[in-house]
């Protein structure tokens, strides 16, 4: 398969995977934030309310903050922006710690974005036609 077609196909897949995976993390963060706040309020215990709201706030906020760069990187990959490669590599390296799905996404991210044909493809602006041969 032509290098540009290979790069185009895998950048599209990778962009979609990053958007879906990190959007789910974003929604999970909002859910945890909300769930822990609700649980704290229905306990009718002021100390439990403070603890649950704090834990839910910290965990939910962390998930939201970590998910935003993943979604941005995925959108950038779909738009074939060269900066998105660096962002997705950083996010993919962090995803390696999230066993098992994040690890799989991280490995795939590193495998795709470290290839020379992908770097060349993004440098050429994502055009289908290969650049001049030097």
Q: What is the rounded distance in angstroms from the CA atom of residue 5 to the CA atom of residue 106?
A: 22
Query: Can you say whether the dihedral through the CA atoms of 5, 9, 14, 15 is positive or negative?
Result: positive
| 133 has a pLDDT exceeding 50 | no
Whole-prediction pTM: 0.87
Q: Minimal CA–CA distance to 79: which of 121, 123, 117, 126?
A: 126
Cα–Cα distances in angstroms (integers) from residue 18 to residues 46, 102, 114, 134, in the given order: 39, 10, 16, 34
| 41 has a pLDDT exceeding 50 | yes
| 64 has a pLDDT exceeding 80 | yes
H/E stretch holding 107 reads helix 101-113
pLDDT band for position 44 (cuts 50, 70, 90):
confident
Q: Kindly report, residue by residue over 65-79, the tens digit of the pLDDT.
A: 999 999 999 999 999
């Amino acid at each position: 398969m032509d290098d540009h077609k290979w790069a185009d196909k895998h950048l599209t897949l990778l962009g979609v995977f990053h958007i879906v995976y990190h959007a789910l993390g974003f929604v999970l963060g909002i859910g945890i934030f909300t769930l822990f706040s609700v649980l704290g309020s229905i306990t009718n215990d002021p100390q439990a309310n403070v603890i649950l709201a704090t834990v839910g706030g910290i965990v939910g906020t962390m998930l939201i903050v970590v998910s935003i760069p993943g979604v941005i990187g995925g959108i950038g990959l779909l738009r074939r922006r060269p900066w998105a490669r660096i962002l997705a590599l950083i996010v993919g390296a962090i995803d390696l710690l999230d066993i098992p799905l994040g690890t799989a996404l991280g490995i795939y991210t590193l495998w795709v974005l470290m290839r020379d044909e992908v770097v060349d493809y993004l440098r050429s602006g994502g055009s289908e036609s290969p650049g001049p041969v030097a």
